Amino acid sequence: MAENCTRKLIVEICNAKNLMPKDGQGTASAYAIVDFDGQRRRTKTKFRDLNPVWDEKLEFLVHDIESMAAEMLEINLYNDKKMGKRSTFLGKVKLAGSVFVKAGEETLVYYPLEKRSVFSQIKGEIGVKVFYVDEEAPPAPAEPAAEQKAETAEEKPKEEEDKKEENVEEKKEEEEKPKEEPPKEEEKPNPPPVEASKSEDTTAAATPPPPPPEVENPPIAHKEEASSTKVVATKSKAETGKSSQLVINELELRSLSGDHNRIAYDLVDRMPFLYVRVVKAKRANKEPACPLHAKLVIGTHSIKTKSQIDKDWDQVFAFDKEGLNSSSLEVSVWAEEEKKEEQKEGDAAATASTVVVDNCLGAVSFDLQEVPKRVPPDSPLAPQWYSLESEKSPGNDVMVSVWVGTQADEAFQEAWQSDSGGLIPETRAKVYLSPKLWYLRLTVIQTQDLQLGSGSESKVRSPELYVKAQLGAQLFKTSRTPVGLAWNEDLVFVAAEPFEPFLVVMVEDWSNGQLVGQAKIHVPSLERRTDDKTEPKSRWFNLVGAENKPYAGRIHVRACLEGGYHVLDEAAHVTSDVQAAAKQLAKPLIGLLDVGIRGASNLLPVKTKDGTRGTTDAYVVAKYGQKWIRTRTILDRFNPRWNEQYTWDVYDPCTVLTIGVFDNGRYKRDEAGKPGRDLRIGKIRVRLSTLDTNKVYLNSYMLTVLLPNGAKKMGEIEIAVRFSCSSWLSLIQAYGTPLLPRMHYLRPLGPAQQDILRQTAMRIVTARLARSEPPLGQEVVQFMLDTDTHVWSMRKSKANWFRVVGCLSHAAILARWLDGIRTWAHPPTTILVHVLLIAVVMCPQLVLSTIFMYAFLILALRFRYRMRVTHNVDLRLSYVDAVGPDELDEEFDGLPTTRSPDTVRFRYDRLRALASRAQTLLGDVAAQGERLEALFNWKDPRATGIFVVVCLFASLLFYVVPFKVFVLGSGFYYIRHPRFRGDMPSAPLNFFRRLPSLSDQIM
């Protein structure tokens, strides 16, 4: 950003809905106070309106553009009481600077109002648009000293007093309910309490006009400071309390995740590396320029730099120090010179050929015992000129720096690893990002003035039309409709940034299959919306007929990019990201995920080297959210040690980390120059909700791959995982919020449609990552994303069936126990049940209290038996040991099948399609029972801890509250009017859906 450019933040307060009445007369007079970076702005007051509309734009100056993402925007709504009384609180909204978008990308977003304290009575939502504009900075005029003194001399009420008196006011409102008079002409709106700060000042304002429906409130001016850190330092103790501490911790976590150099590598072993930076060479004689390269030799290890002509190499090489078999390093420089040689063939004349010969310009040796050590944050070691020793061409120099460090060194990321084959791009460690995905919704409304031809056939028949839309490789069409009728159908596509240029809409005649006309819609210019409250504008497009006919009618459509959905590209039960596509709806950061990929052991050979012996060139791929990482490939080792550590931001604890191990076959090419394929070695998954916070899990996991001839154990991988969280409050609150964004519940997509869109999203992600450099292979991405989860498998169906049977077995055990009570199989137990039955009849109010107390005691006793090791793929649960060869052949058979004639193939494919739905249904049914079982087995320690606390409080609550009152209240609550029901799932339902199941352990 240029120095003469400034950034302004524009906050457009549009409207609010369903506010809480606060004036004692069933209404409220609302206005908004907006705070950002030590600046404060205020809107007008909307009198006696629970659904006020402001449509006001408030401007703020961004002091530090680089740290804008770390700033917080706070919007507070107040009820203007007038008559000298304090304004009461209506709700607030906090937005992180990371959700701000550029001008032109903004959209109206409705945020639910939050409470400021436990006793606040708040409801409703506020619609705002937030965006920033970069513009030229005008020269700042110097303010007079007298004006500055006058501004700083004004007094402002403290916000602490308002917070202390708010609860008392709300209690008095219900008792007194005073009737307010309409505002008088001389009255001036009473601004809400403003915190005292050096960076905030107020100015006087003119008296508002006689009582209009809107009263212009005076703006609150401020003396803006250049540094945002100064503003934070001047905040009061009440402001820098618990909520501010959460913000500070969030900023620290965000900065830690964004700065790779600050990774401590505390989850992996420190590996000593010998770093060699070869910068350039200098020749003594002025010979014609020719390609030069340097060669590094340590015992049997040898690496060569790229050949350059009049250019610097500036390449870094890293040698695993423990694998070196020599105590000296030799750096030599070679010139690639062309020489002509004469050859004679029989009696023919002599012919000349050009041969490239490497001419050594000299070498220099380093004793590895004298190489200095570097420990960051020490500055990098400066390269030096060294004279090359040579008898043929003396006077040549090379610029080199040599030091010993670890993988924490900044040079590790750019270094060419000796154990990865040197200058092979396909073996280097890389970080990839999945493309940002959106749903594109096209609503086909109707057509008009279609040119269907002038033939007699078109006049007699009544043609049926359908609309077909194409975005890239995606093609969807509507149902058939007679001419003149409307469709009003939605077609949903998956769009990836950067978007395809055009969405092609075609109208075709079903009876003869001919194209009536087509139109193109520019995708990047489509409207973006985040909820269902704002309906996108419909447009008419002229249709271009066949053979470039200029006009063939027109079509009425409505198109928009849906930012309120999360585009699933993974299986729902192992998803690692639940963020909405729109940046404005991003969830707050709750923690960090650190993963240390230490090494593997006892890997089996998966290919042959030189046609004689088996070998494995292993690397690891980890995927969480949109971030993919791949470690460096360690060549020809069955016990590789990577010791690489990576960090991800965590926005939801009920997500899954996927780690896969592969054999690198792409760095070798065949005779035609095509790269090979990477082979699967195994895959593991780790669910974050099963991890304790701030605890390191260091475990070895068995790697198993399913092949056509059965399951095969390929070795073990050692992984260290740590889920760190700064705030338990935000972590616990996440369990009561919906897992997916709001639009998934307001306008849900059907199961079949969702499956089609997920397959499309996976193909888009696969294609984009395959075009990276170096590419992430298609076979790797498909294996990580589980693209074959929808394929019919007898093995998976059996596994899901036995999962259902396992959950129902608990009911069978209870039935047998009741039958034993009835038949007096154990008389003491039967007598105790009689006593319990009498107690229930005599004291029914103790039933629920006793049940919850028993649940609390049982869960508390089972706490010490909880799982202390993270879960992995379960071979027994996956049913891979008892599967037959014919069933495996069916599982690995593609669609359509090639094992049968045409008729049998059709029936077979139809059976597999129906069975795949039954398979999914069985899995969903089993997951419900497994979630309930996981709640009682401490598989998710936080979820079970929440339930334990709820059981304890519920036990005490039902002890105090009469049972009849509870039954009556529950009945009234269950049959309450739809007006008083929310459109989102309840907190208990959200809590239950977030519980882990065994779905992520099915291979």
How remote is the C-alpha of 21 from its chain's centroid?
Answer: 38
Q: Is residue 190 part of a domain?
A: no
Domain that includes residue 382, residue range? 272-338+356-418
Same domain, 847 and 974: yes
What pLDDT, on a 0 to 100 scale, did the predictor assign at position 191? 42
Give every strand in the sheet of 301-304, ordered side by side: 301-304, 292-298, 328-343, 351-367
Mean pLDDT of 203-210: 39
More confident residue, 882 or 699: 699
Asked if 569 contacts 434 with a C-beta cutoff of 8 angstroms, the reply is yes
For residue 179, pLDDT over 70 is answered with no
Q: Where does a domain end: 498, 532, 562?
A: 562
More confident residue, 236 or 85: 85
Residue carrying the six token digits 């092979």: 424
How many residues can be counted in the chain? 1003
Mean pLDDT of 702-715: 88
For residue 212, pLDDT over 70 is answered with no
pLDDT digits (tens, 9 = 90+) for 94-105: 998 888 988 888
Mean pLDDT of 525-534: 88
For residue 220, pLDDT over 70 is answered with no
DSSP 342-379: EE--TTSPPEEEEEEEEEEEEEEEEEGGGPPB--TTSP
For residue 840, pLDDT over 80 is answered with no
Q: Is residue 384 part of a domain?
A: yes
Same domain, 844 and 731: no
Q: Is residue 458 part of a domain?
A: no
Instruction: Return d(Cα 183, Cα 185) in angstroms, integer.
Output: 7
Band of the pLDDT at 341, cuts 50, 70, 90?
Answer: low
For residue 244, pLDDT over 50 is answered with no
For residue 933, pLDDT over 50 is answered with yes
Instruction: Return d(Cα 371, Cα 411) in angstroms, integer.
Output: 16
Peptide bond into 844 cis (omega under 30): no
Q: Which of 172-181, 318-327, 553-562 has the lowest mean pLDDT?
A: 172-181
* Closest of 684, 573, 575, 654 to residue 924, by C-alpha: 573
pLDDT digits (tens, 9 = 90+) for 357-410: 778 888 999 988 889 998 888 888 889 999 888 878 788 889 999 999 988 888
Residue carrying the six token digits 């006077």: 395
Q: Where does a domain end: 90, 119, 135?
A: 135
In angstroms, the first-to-last Cα distance of the chain is 49
Q: Which of 187-196, 432-441, 736-745, 875-884 has the lowest mean pLDDT?
A: 187-196
513: left (phi > 0), else alpha (psi -120 to 50), else beta? left
Band of the pLDDT at 288, cuts 50, 70, 90?
Answer: low
Asked if 776 contacts 432 with a C-beta cutoff of 8 angstroms, the reply is yes
For residue 563, pLDDT over 60 is answered with yes
Band of the pLDDT at 340, cuts 50, 70, 90?
Answer: low
How remote is the C-alpha of 974 from its chain's centroid?
Answer: 36
What pLDDT, on a 0 to 100 scale, did the predictor assign at position 134? 87
Instruction: Return d(Cα 156, Cα 195) in angstroms, integer.
Output: 7
Instruction: Return d(Cα 253, Cα 259) in angstroms, integer.
Output: 10
Residue 77 Cα distances to 85, 135, 195, angstroms: 16, 30, 16
Q: Is residue 490 part of a domain?
A: yes
How remote is the C-alpha of 934 from its chain's centroid?
Answer: 25
Asked if 24 contacts 169 with a C-beta cutoff of 8 angstroms, the reply is no
Same domain, 639 and 745: yes
Three-state SS annotation for 606-659: CEEECCCEEECCEEEEEEECCEEEECCCECCCCCCEEEEEEEEEECCCCCEEEE
DSSP 394-426: TT-EEEEEEEEE-TTSGGGTTPEEGGGTSS-GG
pLDDT digits (tens, 9 = 90+) for 19-54: 988 877 888 999 999 999 889 999 999 988 999 999
Asked if 882 contacts 801 with a C-beta cutoff of 8 angstroms, the reply is no
Q: Is residue 218 part of a domain?
A: no
% of the chain residues with pLDDT over 70 = 83
Same domain, 603 and 541: no
Same domain, 515 and 613: no
Same domain, 548 and 643: no
Same domain, 846 and 981: yes
Beta-strand pair 72-79/88-96: antiparallel
pLDDT digits (tens, 9 = 90+) for 295-329: 999 988 888 888 888 778 889 999 988 878 888 99
Ordered alpha helix ranges (H), 771-826: 778-785, 794-822
Mean pLDDT of 915-938: 85
Mean pLDDT of 121-136: 88
- The mean pLDDT value of the chain amounts to 80
Instruction: Return d(Cα 664, Cα 658) in angstroms, integer.
Output: 19
For residue 586, pLDDT over 70 is answered with yes
Mean pLDDT of 816-842: 83
Beta bridge partners of 328: 367
Q: How many domains does the chain have?
A: 5
Q: Is residue 182 part of a domain?
A: no
For residue 175, pLDDT over 50 is answered with no
3-state secondary structure of 554: strand
pLDDT digits (tens, 9 = 90+) for 640-661: 999 999 999 999 999 999 999 9
% of the chain residues with pLDDT over 90 = 34
More confident residue, 977 or 638: 638
* Token digits of residue 251: 């900023």
Q: Is residue 898 part of a domain?
A: yes
Asked if 28 contacts 79 with a C-beta cutoff of 8 angstroms, the reply is yes
Same domain, 845 and 926: yes
Beta strands in 434-553 (DSSP E): 437-448, 464-471, 474-477, 481-482, 489-496, 502-509, 515-522, 527-529, 538-542
Same domain, 291 and 413: yes
Residues 6+ apart with CB under 8 A from 235: 195, 197, 244
Same domain, 280 and 402: yes
For residue 290, pLDDT over 70 is answered with yes
What pLDDT, on a 0 to 100 scale, did the predictor assign at position 971? 74
Instruction: Return d(Cα 919, Cα 29) in angstroms, integer.
Output: 56
CA dihedral 523, 524, 525, 526 (to 10 degrees): 50
For residue 201, pLDDT over 70 is answered with no
* Token digits of residue 338: 């062309």
Instruction: Return d(Cα 791, Cα 916) in angstroms, integer.
Output: 6
Asked if 739 contacts 624 with a C-beta cutoff of 8 angstroms, the reply is no
DSSP code at position 187: -
Band of the pLDDT at 264, cuts 50, 70, 90?
Answer: low
For residue 256, pLDDT over 80 is answered with no
Q: Is residue 969 part of a domain?
A: yes
For residue 893, pLDDT over 80 is answered with no
Instruction: Return d(Cα 613, Cα 598) in angstroms, integer.
Output: 26
For residue 269, pLDDT over 60 is answered with yes
Same domain, 893 and 994: yes
**What phi and psi values does residue 618 have, to the nearest 5 degrees?**
-95, 145
The CATH number covering residue 284 comes to: 2.60.40.150
Sign of CA dihedral 518, 521, 522, 523: negative
Q: Where does a domain end: 731, 762, 785?
A: 785
Beta bridge partners of 333: 294, 362
Angle at CA of residue 98, ends 94 and 101, nearest 5°: 100
For residue 228, pLDDT over 50 is answered with no
What pLDDT, on a 0 to 100 scale, did the predictor assign at position 374? 86
Same domain, 678 and 712: yes
Instruction: Return d(Cα 761, Cα 740) in angstroms, integer.
Output: 17
Q: Which of 691-700, 762-771, 879-888 has the lowest mean pLDDT?
A: 879-888
For residue 502, pLDDT over 90 is answered with yes
Q: Which amino acid, 763?
A: R
Residue carrying the six token digits 């008419």: 540
Band of the pLDDT at 543, cuts 50, 70, 90?
Answer: very high
What pLDDT, on a 0 to 100 scale, did the predictor assign at position 31? 92
Band of the pLDDT at 345, cuts 50, 70, 90?
Answer: low
Beta strands in 638-756 (DSSP E): 641-650, 656-663, 679-687, 696-707, 710-725
For residue 628, pLDDT over 90 is answered with yes
For residue 190, pLDDT over 50 is answered with no
What pLDDT, on a 0 to 100 scale, did the predictor assign at position 743? 92
